[in-house]
Amino acid sequence: MRRTQLSKAAAAALLILPFGSMLPACAPVAVVGTAILVNDEFADKAQSVIVDYPSDYVWAAAKSSMAHMTDDLLDIDADLRTIKTYVDGALVLVQIETFDVGQTRIRVGAKRYLVFSDEVATNVRDGIQRDLG
């Protein structure tokens, strides 16, 4: 299955196009990009593991793993190194961060029916970790 990712500007333009004819020609239009929110609750409830691989390698592997775990589109924020998507009916958020030289932390949080799901988060974390080795 081939996946494509739109840039934030292209996605915003697609959202504005259907409404463009309803706006006067001189009306200002605000375009707001989407950001993936990683908050303290996520940090406290997320399943995490530290792996002995550089963060660039883990980031690429995590994107590949997540693409194979779901049929939904991936919402990727390359600046924050986060991925948001749905896996097994749960909203999953993956964060990749450098922990130390040659070590990377993988954090995975999952919410199903607005409640954190350790089962889904652990399965996703283990899947990413398994794909690394």
3 belongs to a structural domain: no
For residues 57-66, one letter each, b for 16 or more C-beta atoms within 10 angstroms of the residue's C-beta and e for the rest, the string is: ebbebbbebb
Report pTM.
0.69
CATH number, residue 48:
3.30.530.50
Q: Give the number of domains in the chain.
A: 1
17 belongs to a structural domain: no
6 belongs to a structural domain: no
Domain containing 124: what range?
36-132
Distance CA 63, CA 52 (A): 18
* Position with higher pLDDT, 31 vs 87: 87
For residues 15-32, one letter each, b for 16 or more C-beta atoms within 10 angstroms of the residue's C-beta and e for the rest, the string is: eeeeeeeeeeeeeeeeee
Q: What is the pLDDT of residues 83-118, one digit of tens each?
A: 999 999 999 999 999 999 999 999 999 999 988 999
23 belongs to a structural domain: no
16 belongs to a structural domain: no
86 belongs to a structural domain: yes
4 belongs to a structural domain: no
80 belongs to a structural domain: yes
